[in-house]
Chains A and B, each alone.
Chain A
């Protein structure tokens, strides 16, 4: 299957990355090359094989459902590009 420029724009939109027309033109053949290369996996017979989910046998642990942290608003906001009144600030989302 081949990725056209419309598909590149669609993927970029899903990935929330703005792309210029020139970038779209450059990305289409690059992505096609890589996807064409990984295409060889289709020739592997995987009948009866379960997809791997954990590389080393391990189980997900549960812990007691209680608060172990908190009260560190200043630290949480310390790296925010814009913070106001103790909140993360973003462009207006309600018209």
Chain B
């Protein structure tokens, strides 16, 4: 094998098992790639010792005939997951230097399955952003560039921007992401990789730095559908430490993968055809519909009437929950503290939070505080919770008629850094197609579909019924087989 870092999760697992290479060789190859890829700023910290220790354990396990599901696979972990003894920042100055004394359930599950950690991945501050430009630790660059000969720096998307960049540049074969309103799917689409947000409650939120707790869900991002299925199986599972964790067995998603989707009914929501979206997005959607037809699926037009209200709903509920969740950053128990001379306790809170949070996080905390404040709670928050119920009902009614929905993932290809930072609402519109499934808690997956005329990846999204990750993965596999997406960014870093 000439370049081990071109391998994905399944290929590494199988190669270690079959003795094609050692886990240590794999870990060393990826560690070198991570070092070479520093210009992308995908990692906040690198943890080669963790990856090497897991690799040595994997090689010993192979010798002892005791391999685990992810033995020998080094992963990147989004910096939203608490990792015991390793700095966990959520992309915020507030948590700079914070070393958790406990492990998040999701990262713990992955490590227990034999995986190692290459490092902690950069992200938008507290996952609030769609371009990875709100991170205190700097912008992440996409490995992709437009084919116009210019070297304009492009966003990898967000908030899981470091995660997306690392996989697309092959600095890691697979990574964790988190998705509150599109933060796995939009960056996956921007970088030509796959990523799935499972049903809300599949993955434990314990040890995941909280943003909007009724929406936050972890999921994998990787080269392809099979690798996502393998990782999700290891990440998911009931956890008594998360009160919203679903007490259900984890299905054998990988073993049950099948691209035979003959007879499946796939809905095309007419409200997802919106003004101002580039024609190329519609074209790739039409192409995707043709592929699904080719796979034997029946295409059905459906209606999700409240779609246009999903983002305004999201931008009430998510900031409201964030304002409550982020109240914990008080400068007392962990994180930064700024205590003005002769100031009282309130002065310390206010100075700490003014210095620790970036502009977007402050903006969202203030919006959330406002919509929850006396006199506005009913008009904003309660109204949003009711509209959220209507959005979920739209999906339920659609799923009476169809098994899956096929939509675009994002309303554009990756944009240039700085292009949308001046207008928060323009940035929020990135999640116009991804947000509704988050509000309804449904499993949704982004798969690469093709390149636009500028040579940048475009993705489509499959949304399934609650708990039907298998249906989503299988349709995504059928899609992947027909799309034959093999384009890769040319290494400039």
Judge whether B366 and A31 touch: CB under 8 Å.
Answer: yes
Q: A68-95: which have CB < 8 Å to B?
A: 72, 75-76, 78-82, 88, 90-93
Judge whether A38 and B380 touch: CB under 8 Å.
Answer: yes
Q: What does the 1/0 interface line of A46-67 toward B look like (CB < 8 Å)?
A: 1001111111101011010000
Q: A19-65: which have CB < 8 Å to B?
A: 19, 27, 30-31, 33-35, 37-42, 44, 46, 49-56, 58, 60-61, 63
Select from chain B the residue with minimum beta-carbon distance to A81: B337
Q: Which residues of A contact B343 (CB under 8 A)?
A: 91
Chain A binding site: helix, strand, loop or mixed by DSSP?
Answer: loop
Task: Kindly state whether residue B63 has any CB partner on chain A within 8 Å.
Answer: no
Q: What does the 1/0 interface line of B378-402 toward A look like (CB < 8 Å)?
A: 0110111111111010000000000
Contact A56 to B336, CB < 8 A, known contacts A15-B323, A38-B315, A49-B386? no
Q: Which residues of A contact B357 (CB under 8 A)?
A: 17
Task: Kindly state whether residue A18 has any CB partner on chain B within 8 Å.
Answer: yes
A36 to B337, CA, bound (A): 34
Q: Which residues of B contact A31 (CB under 8 A)?
A: 363, 366-367, 370
User: Looking at the complex, which one of A30, A40, A42, A90 makes contact with B379 (CB distance below 8 Å)?
Assistant: A42
User: Looking at the complex, which one of B351, B383, B390, B440 makes contact with A18 (CB distance below 8 Å)?
Assistant: B351
Q: Which residues of B contact A35 (CB under 8 A)?
A: 367, 370
Contact A81 to B331, CB < 8 A, known contacts A11-B370, A55-B441, A63-B240? yes
Contact A18 to B350, CB < 8 A, known contacts A27-B363, A90-B345, A91-B339? yes
State the Cβ distance, A69 to closest chain B Cβ, in Å.
10
Select from chain A the residue with minimum beta-carbon distance to B363: A30
Q: Which residues of A contact B313 (CB under 8 A)?
A: 38, 41
Judge whether B366 and A15 touch: CB under 8 Å.
Answer: yes
Q: Which residues of B contact A37 (CB under 8 A)?
A: 312, 315, 425
Select from chain B the residue with minimum beta-carbon distance to A57: B466
Task: Kindly state whether residue B154 has any CB partner on chain A within 8 Å.
Answer: no
- Select the residue from A12, A14, A56, A80 with max chain B CB neighbours within 10 A: A56
State the Cβ distance, B434 to closest chain A Cβ, in Å.
15
Q: What does the 1/0 interface line of B334-365 toward A look like (CB < 8 Å)?
A: 11110100011111111101100100001101
Judge whether B366 and A11 touch: CB under 8 Å.
Answer: yes
Judge whether A52 and B101 touch: CB under 8 Å.
Answer: no
Judge whether B315 and A52 touch: CB under 8 Å.
Answer: no
Chain B binding site: helix, strand, loop or mixed by DSSP?
Answer: helix
Q: B215-240: which have CB < 8 Å to A?
A: 215, 240
Q: Which residues of B contact A38 (CB under 8 A)?
A: 312-313, 315-316, 380, 384
Select from chain A the residue with minimum beta-carbon distance to B317: A52
Select from chain B the residue with minimum beta-carbon distance to A61: B243
A17 to B425, CA, bound (A): 23
Judge whether A88 and B333 touch: CB under 8 Å.
Answer: yes
Select from chain A the residue with minimum beta-carbon distance to B319: A34
Q: B239-253: which have CB < 8 Å to A?
A: 240, 243-244, 246-247
Task: Kindly state whether residue B424 has any CB partner on chain A within 8 Å.
Answer: yes
A18 to B309, CA, bound (A): 33
Q: Which residues of B contact A58 (CB under 8 A)?
A: 201, 244, 246
Contact A90 to B424, CB < 8 A, known contacts A38-B315, A41-B383? no
Judge whether B367 and A88 touch: CB under 8 Å.
Answer: no
User: Looking at the complex, which one of B316, B331, B369, B386 makes contact with A11 (CB distance below 8 Å)?
Assistant: B369
- Select the residue from A15, A41, A78 with max chain B CB neighbours within 10 A: A15
Judge whether B424 and A30 touch: CB under 8 Å.
Answer: yes
Q: Which residues of A contact B335 (CB under 8 A)?
A: 79, 81
State the Cβ distance, B61 to closest chain A Cβ, in Å.
30
A56 to B214, CA, bound (A): 10
Q: Which residues of A contact B366 (CB under 8 A)?
A: 8, 11-12, 15, 17, 27, 31
Judge whether B441 and A80 touch: CB under 8 Å.
Answer: no
Task: Kindly state whether residue B93 has any CB partner on chain A within 8 Å.
Answer: no
Contact A91 to B424, CB < 8 A, known contacts A52-B392, A58-B244? no
Judge whether A46 and B350 touch: CB under 8 Å.
Answer: no
Q: What does the 1/0 interface line of B454-486 toward A look like (CB < 8 Å)?
A: 000000000000100000000000000000000
Judge whether A55 and B440 touch: CB under 8 Å.
Answer: yes
Task: Kindly state whether residue B439 has any CB partner on chain A within 8 Å.
Answer: yes
Task: Kindly state whether residue B283 has any CB partner on chain A within 8 Å.
Answer: no
Judge whether B309 and A15 touch: CB under 8 Å.
Answer: no
Q: Which residues of B contact A34 (CB under 8 A)?
A: 315, 363, 367, 424-425
State the Cβ distance, A2 to closest chain B Cβ, in Å.
12
Select from chain A the residue with minimum beta-carbon distance to B326: A15
Q: Which residues of A contact B327 (CB under 8 A)?
A: 16
Q: Which residues of A contact B389 (CB under 8 A)?
A: 49-52
3 tightest A-B contacts by CB? A51-B385, A55-B441, A81-B337
Residues of B at the A interface (CB closer than 8 Å) are: 98-101, 199-201, 214-215, 240, 243-244, 246-247, 306, 309, 312-313, 315-316, 323, 327, 330-337, 339, 343-351, 353-354, 357, 362-363, 365-367, 369-370, 373, 379-380, 382-390, 392, 424-425, 439-441, 466
What are 16 residue pairs bridging A and B, where the CB atoms are less than 8 Å apart in the complex? Answer: A7-B370, A15-B353, A18-B353, A31-B367, A34-B367, A40-B312, A46-B386, A55-B392, A55-B439, A58-B201, A72-B101, A76-B101, A81-B334, A90-B345, A91-B345, A92-B344
